[in-house]
Each structure stands twice: as C-alpha cells, then as structure tokens.
Amino acid sequence: MRRAIVRGTGHYLPERVVENSWFEDKLDTTDEWIRTRTGIERRHFAAEGQRTSDLGIAAARAALADAGVEPGQVDAIVVATSTPDFTFPSVATMVQAGLGNRHGFAFDVQAVCAGFIYALANADAMIRAGQAERVLVIGAETFSRIMDWTDRATCVLFGDGAGAVLLEAHEGQGTSADRGLLSTDLNSDGQYRDLLYVDGGVASTGTAGHLRMQGNLVFRHAVEKLADTAHRALDKAGLSQDQVDWLVPHQANLRIIEATARRMHLPMEKVVLTVADHGNTSAASIPLALSVANAQGRFEPGQVLVAEAIGGGLVWGSAVLRW
C-alpha cells in the first residue's frame, strides 16, 4: 500500500518580531491581559512588500534542504492560505516559479486555519492514487494584512509565517504500523460562518476586509470539535489515544490547546507548543510547529503524531501520522 511519509520539514518567520507591549499604547490592553487569555507573548509581521508567496518559498526551500531533494524532483505543490497575494494566480504557482520548478502542478486550498489539514488530505490522496511521488504541502499566511487594529479581541491574536512539509511515496503494509499519513478526518458546517469570518471579498465588497470573530462561541466549538475529530482520525487509523506520542495542534490559543489535551487525556508534555512565539498563523501554524519540533529533534522514528485544527466556516479536521 502506498503511504505518504514525511521526508522533510521547513519554516520561515518574517524578521519583524512584535511583542505584546507594542499594542499597549494603541489599544486598551496590556501584555498581561494578552498572555493570560491567549498564551501569546509575541508574533511576527511580514515586512512591507513581503507577500505570502515569499514566505511560502522560503519555507519550501527549507523543507527541500531538510529532505535533500531538488525543486525539480517535486511533482506537486499544494499551498493552504486565506491571504493570497492576488485573487489569482494561486500562491502555489508563484511558489513553483520561485523554486524554479517547471513540471508538475500547483494549486491552493482555502480552509482557513484548518487549511493545512485539508491540504495534507489532498496530497495524501494524490500520492495514494499514484498521481505524484513527491508533494510539497505548505501553509503560508500574512494575516497582519486583514487585521482591524482597533479590535483588541482579534488583532493581538494573529501573526505571519509559513511552514512546509515534503511528502514522499513509500510502500507500506496497509497497517497502523506503517510510517506516514495513516488517516485524515475532515469536517465543515457552514451554518456557523458568522462566528469567524472576514467582512470583505471580491464578490461582496471588492476589498480585502477585516477579520471578525465571536471568540467565546469559537472557543466552545473548538474544544468540542478538535477532540472529536482527533478521536475519529485515530479510529480510522486503528489506533487509540494511549498510543499518541505527540499532539501537534493548531496554535490559536493556549487555553483551547490545554482543554483539548485534557479531553484527549494527554499531558502537556506531549503537546507541541509554539503559540507563545508565533501567535495564531492560521494555516501556517501546524507546519510551523512540526518544523520547529523536528528541528529540535523532538520526534523519533515510529512515533505517532496527531495534528488538528479548526477555522472559519466552520471547518475542522485532523490527521494521524507515524513519523
């Protein structure tokens, strides 16, 4: 059975680091208020003129270097983003051009904060079907471009960045002992679209708009839905939560992450955390966390990882993989 294994990881964060204190003379907030409610201490903002595709290219290069693979050996590029450079062409095609890749295909996936999970599911399906041997899966965002800087409930939460994973086809036995992606679980429910959305768009206002969120309701949905999707993905993979070595969650809010870990009966020592340094980077947060933890040598061959995320839509999902 063909499996999609992780061959390499990489990430990129813009040079500008914005501490919580930066907001104190602009909003009715404090460093303590932000830390205690979100766990965020700082985030990165893209420089003027720096685009989402620039971040994605840098992360992709890092993943290829980690894997020891040349750009021309990549068959497909899938970019998860909600903050594209342009309405079209896709960010993925610009990443493809930036890498100097002239063959294969590239496209974007838009599932907001769950985008990387959706992109992983697409890449996994293409590898299983034999459409590609190697797929670059990238999450890249410049959410600083859609913030309302007068809304303290949202603008302190988000940051910019990109993470990338190179998946490669590998022959497995078709059991839960295989390396690579073992299962994914995808969900959405459009009736909750008003809980987290951007109030602009090509066909509505003709503007990029600003992010709007009903934080308390999103929190309640997140805790319930993230644990549930993780359990479903584990069931599909033929594994139990006792066999999970690492939880790699969407880095939105420390309280959500802690509540989800409790529902999964996982100690925080088994949870990868980057939210303090990155803030919420939407589709980039899981590949960023994967790359940072991998660079630190925290993952060992054969360990079971569960990644899960929820975003505007509402959309949510999870993935189980064996390192």
Catalytic, out of 113, 122, 210, 221: 113
DSSP-derived 3-state class of residue 263: helix
Residue 294 CA to residue 306 CA, distance in Å, equals 14
For residue 273, the one-letter residue type is L
Q: Are 27 and 16 contacting, i.e. CB atoms less than 8 angstroms apart? A: no
Strands 180-188 and 315-322 come out as antiparallel
For residue 145, the one-letter residue type is R
DSSP H/E element including 288: helix 285-295
Q: How many helices (H) and strands (E) does the chain have?
A: 9, 13
Backbone angles phi, psi at 104, to 5 degrees: 80, -155
Catalytic, out of 11, 250, 253, 278: 250
Residue 135 CA to residue 164 CA, distance in Å, equals 10
Is 155 among the residues known to form the active site? no
For residue 53, the one-letter residue type is S
Which residues neighbour 110 within 8 Å (Cβ) at sequence distance 6 or greater?
Answer: 80, 81, 82
Q: DSSP 3-state helix, strand, coil percentages of the chain (rounded to 5)?
A: 40, 30, 30
Q: Are 251 and 287 contacting, i.e. CB atoms less than 8 angstroms apart? A: no
Q: Which 8-state DSSP code applies to residue 40?
A: -
Catalytic, out of 20, 101, 253, 280: 280
With b meaning 16 or more CB within 10 Å and e meaning fewer, what string describes 282-307? bbbbbbbbbbbbbeeeebeeeebbbb
Residue 134 CA to residue 142 CA, distance in Å, equals 26
Backbone angles phi, psi at 93, to 5 degrees: -70, -30
Q: Which 8-state DSSP code applies to residue 91?
A: H
Task: List the catalytic residues.
Answer: 113, 250, 280
